[in-house]
């Protein structure tokens, strides 16, 4: 039996982070976590490109453009969607999640879902580095591991 697993080393990787600016108070903490993870895994911060978009709904469109450039080993999607009093939350969260999943399935590089979807501000804050870890940090860990696995599968490493 053969097992394949990506290594947690960002030394030779170039990663794009696409982050929604809406709820930036929390999103900035996700971005800090993402950068921290990349550097801890040996990544060169000059090889981590950050693309800021107005909100989470705009993330998949930018990811599509970045994939077509064939420049990145992985793309990390970060954003914060908090439930409000209208059905807006369901539309944004559902459609954004589905689009990111489709890009991940169809694309030549891993596209990692690092969005927080929360019922309230407290839940979102907890998932941005206080009580429940940092979703940005976790997303970069996944991106680095998956980039390595994609390299193994494609025969480049």
Q: How far apart are CA 76 and CA 16, in angstroms?
A: 6
Position 127 scores a pLDDT of 84
> Within a domain: residue 106?
yes
What CATH number did the domain enclosing 148 receive? 3.40.50.960
Catalytic residue numbers, as ranges? 88
Position 130 scores a pLDDT of 67
Position 157 scores a pLDDT of 62
Contacts of 134 (CB under 8 A, 6+ apart): 29, 30, 32, 33, 36, 127, 128
> Within a domain: residue 44?
no
CB-based contact 113:90 (threshold 8 Å): no
Q: How many structural domains is the chain composed of?
A: 1
> Within a domain: residue 4?
no
pLDDT along the chain (157 residues), means of 10: 94 97 93 96 97 96 97 97 82 94 95 94 85 89 97 83
Ramachandran angles phi, psi of 3, nearest 5°: -120, 140
Ramachandran angles phi, psi of 7, nearest 5°: -90, 150
Question: What is the domain range of residue 148?
Answer: 53-154
- pTM over 0.85, yes/no: yes
Strand order in the sheet with 15-20: 48-53, 15-20, 74-82, 111-118
């Amino acid at each position: 039996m053969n097992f394949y697993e990506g290594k947690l080393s960002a030394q030779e990787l170039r990663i794009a982070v696409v982050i929604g600016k809406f709820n930036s108070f929390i999103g900035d903490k996700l971005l800090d976590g993402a950068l921290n993870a990349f550097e801890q895994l040996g990544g060169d911060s000059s090889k981590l490109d950050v693309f800021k978009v107005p909100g989470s709904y705009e993330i998949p469109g930018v990811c599509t453009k970045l994939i077509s450039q064939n420049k990145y080993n992985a793309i990390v999607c970060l954003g914060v969607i908090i439930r409000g009093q209208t059905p807006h939350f369901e539309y944004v969260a559902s459609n954004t999640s589905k689009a990111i999943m489709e890009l991940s399935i169809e694309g030549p590089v891993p596209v990692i879902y690092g969005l927080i979807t929360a019922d309230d501000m407290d839940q979102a804050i907890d998932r941005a580095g206080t009580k429940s870890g940092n979703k940005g940090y976790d997303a970069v860990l996944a991106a680095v591991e998956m980039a390595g696995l994609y390299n193994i599968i494609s025969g480049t490493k």
